[in-house]
Amino acid sequence: MLAKEDILNVLKQVEDPELHQSIIDLNMVRNIQINGTHVSLDIILTIPGCPLKAKIQQDVEEALKTIGASPVAISFGAMTKQERHNLTSSLQAKNVTDKGMPKMLLPQSGVQFIAVTSGKGGVGKSTVTINLAVALARLGKRVGILDADIYGFSIPTMMKIDQKPTMLDQTAIPVMSHGVKIMSMGFFTNDNQPVMWRGPMLNKWIRNFLVNTHWGELDYLLIDLPPGTGDVAIDMAAMIPQAQEVIVTTPHLAASHVASRAGLMAQHTKHTILGVVENMAYFEGADGQKNYLFGQGGAEQLAELLQTNVLAHIPFAQPEENTGSSVYDADTIIGEVFTHLAEDILYQ
């Protein structure tokens, strides 16, 4: 015969899909009733209309069926304002020190920060960011992306994300896509409206993304910086002095020359440069012939100037047809290039 303790033990393994904590530890399971194998209970969601309600219901039902519960009846409710406030306070205590500093920035946090930057726009910096992040996640790492390109945010669109972060008071829960946690200014604008801010507001929002976002446990946080050496890049260097950088360029010598400014800034701010990634390196025709549409040698020239290595040459290719996503499948040619890039970063 089923007992309440059996229910609690099995549901302790079920996590809230956004907070990644046990629904028992979050006090989301209440009013358990048992009649033979029939189990009914209440699930109290963090907010009304939780977008992942169906996922929670499925996970709870499947977990209970493993111990012989059938049928399972679930009623849903939502936390009170006070309960959400208490939960937010608990999350903030885990995220931020007494002095208001994000704990993930502490040397002992174990989080490795990789800033992806370029000298100019249009070289594929964001494409490199999302595919490197997804490749790291496929290798079993806990990964997040901070889309710090406040004016030119593109990560949500490129990853085909159509949902918004869940807000618990002033704390945002990142959106999960392809196994990667995402936070972007694109979630907080309407109808692709432009962001028209100056330096102090940029700094405030970047800090909010670090302090008021519940990132949970991460191994890597990739930061998609705006191109060039402006306010955001300067502020990020000051906030995260331990960050490492990947410089993205194309083969064109003029592009690599412009990208050198971002690399020289990284050196000036004492950031370690992991290496150079050359995007749009060549186009491979049906006959296997490589066509170097933008010339050759840009990445090598940049790497020599910055005294670093070329990490990858990424060819032209189209992601999977009809999805609209810029994430490449793992078994495609470019997907394999990013897997090798992720492995090089992991094991260098």
Question: How far apart are alpha carbons 126 and 122 in whole angstroms?
Answer: 9
CATH code for the domain of 143: 3.40.50.300
Which of 229, 191, 186 is CA-nearest to residue 209? 186
Does residue 94 fall inside a structural domain? Answer: no
> Looking at the structure, do residues 111 and 246 belong to the same domain, yes or no?
yes
> Looking at the structure, do residues 260 and 292 belong to the same domain, yes or no?
yes
Residue 166 confidence (pLDDT): 86
Residue 196 confidence (pLDDT): 46
pLDDT in tens, the chain (348 residues): 789 999 999 999 999 988 889 999 999 999 999 999 999 999 999 988 887 899 999 999 999 999 999 999 999 999 999 999 898 888 888 778 877 778 888 888 899 999 998 888 788 899 999 999 999 999 999 999 999 877 778 898 899 998 888 888 888 889 999 999 999 888 877 665 554 445 556 567 777 788 888 898 899 999 998 876 666 677 777 778 788 999 999 898 877 878 888 787 877 777 888 999 999 998 888 888 888 888 888 899 889 988 999 999 999 887 665 567 899 999 988 999 999 999 999 987
> Which contiguous run of DSSP H or E holds residue 55?
helix 53-65
Residue 197 confidence (pLDDT): 47
Q: For strand 29-35 and strand 38-45, is the pairing parallel, antiparallel, or unpaired?
A: antiparallel
Residue 185 confidence (pLDDT): 81
Tell me how far apart the 2 most distant CA atoms of the chain are, in Å. 74
Residue 179 confidence (pLDDT): 94
Does residue 255 fall inside a structural domain? Answer: yes
Q: For strand 310-314 and strand 290-291, is the pairing parallel, antiparallel, or unpaired?
A: unpaired
Which residues make Cβ contacts (< 8 Å) with residue 4, sequence separation at least 6?
Answer: 32, 34
Contact 267, 273 (CB under 8 A): yes
> Looking at the structure, do residues 65 and 145 belong to the same domain, yes or no?
no
- Structural domain harbouring 281: 104-347
Q: What is the DSSP string of 121-145?
A: SSSSHHHHHHHHHHHHHHTT--EEE
Residue 258 confidence (pLDDT): 82
Q: What is the pTM of this model?
A: 0.85
Please list the residues that pair with 42 across neighbouring strands. Answer: 30, 75
102: cis peptide before it, omega within 30°? no
> Looking at the structure, do residues 57 and 151 belong to the same domain, yes or no?
no
Does residue 97 fall inside a structural domain? Answer: no
> Looking at the structure, do residues 28 and 135 belong to the same domain, yes or no?
no
Does residue 98 fall inside a structural domain? Answer: no
Which of 266, 238, 240 is CA-nearest to residue 118? 266
What count of other Cβ atoms lies within 10 Å of the Cβ of residue 16? 22
Residue 320 confidence (pLDDT): 62
> Looking at the structure, do residues 70 and 115 belong to the same domain, yes or no?
no
Residue 230 confidence (pLDDT): 64
Q: What is the DSSP string of 138-185?
A: HTT--EEEEE--SSS--HHHHTT---PPEEETTEEEPEEETTEEEEEG
> Looking at the structure, do residues 246 and 310 belong to the same domain, yes or no?
yes
> Looking at the structure, do residues 175 and 309 belong to the same domain, yes or no?
yes
> Looking at the structure, do residues 78 and 130 belong to the same domain, yes or no?
no
Residue 229 confidence (pLDDT): 62
> Looking at the structure, do residues 220 and 341 belong to the same domain, yes or no?
yes
